[in-house]
Amino acid sequence: MLTINVNGQDREFDGDPNTPLLWFVRDELALTGTKFGCGAGLCGACTVHVDDVASRSCLTTVGEAAGKRVTTIEGLSADGSHPVQKAWRELNVPQCGFCQAGQIMQAASLLTRNRAPSDGEIVEEMAGNICRCGCYQRIHAAVRLAAGGV
């Protein structure tokens, strides 16, 4: 039996430790804000935080996450008051919205490590998160806005 702290609550897993964390979060815990995109860690739709670091949950196994703190989009802020979430709303970032949980989690991880990222650092950090709608300018602007409020 493995224990993972998900959104501040210890959760037990008794399945195959090689199961992708994504499926534990979505199927076992019903936290469906984390999305399945490519399954190869290339799009960023499945981004969660593992011990405060942005991680692709489609590549991270439950075994690798055991004993660690996992934060999903649902656990970032229960009331949506995280500075990144507020900036996303203020600038109307999403179009279709599918990638946005991963985008928000990536941005929040960046701002945890670097409270005043340069434009180049934002571009570099967010480059692994794909937005099929092309909302990159609004995403970038929202990260800049959130950096002012973190």
- Structural domains of the chain, with CATH: 2-76 (3.10.20.30), 83-149 (1.10.150.120)
How do strand 47-50 and strand 53-56 relate by DSSP bridges?
A: antiparallel
Distance, in Å, from the CA atom of 59 to the CA atom of 76, rounded to the nearest integer, reads 21
Burial class of residue 96 in the structure, from the number of CB atoms within 10 Å of its CB (0-12 exposed, 13-18 middle, 19+ buried): exposed
Residue 27 DSSP symbol = I
For 84, phi and psi rounded to 5 degrees? -70, -45
Reported confidence tier of residue 149, pLDDT bands at 50, 70, 90: low
131-148 tens-digit pLDDT: 999 999 999 999 999 999
Reported confidence tier of residue 55, pLDDT bands at 50, 70, 90: very high
Is pLDDT of 150 > 60?
no
Query: What average pLDDT does range 42-49 have in this prediction?
Result: 97
SS (H, E, C) 37-89: CCCCCCCCCCEEEECCEEEECCCCEHHHHCCCEEECHHHHCCCCCCHHHHHHH
Is pLDDT of 106 > 90?
yes
Question: Tell me, what's the pLDDT at 93?
Answer: 96
Reported confidence tier of residue 78, pLDDT bands at 50, 70, 90: confident
Residue 96 DSSP symbol = S
109-129 tens-digit pLDDT: 999 999 999 999 999 999 999
Distance, in Å, from the CA atom of 23 to the CA atom of 77, rounded to the nearest integer, reads 22
| Tokens 């571009």, located at residue | 123
Report pTM. 0.95
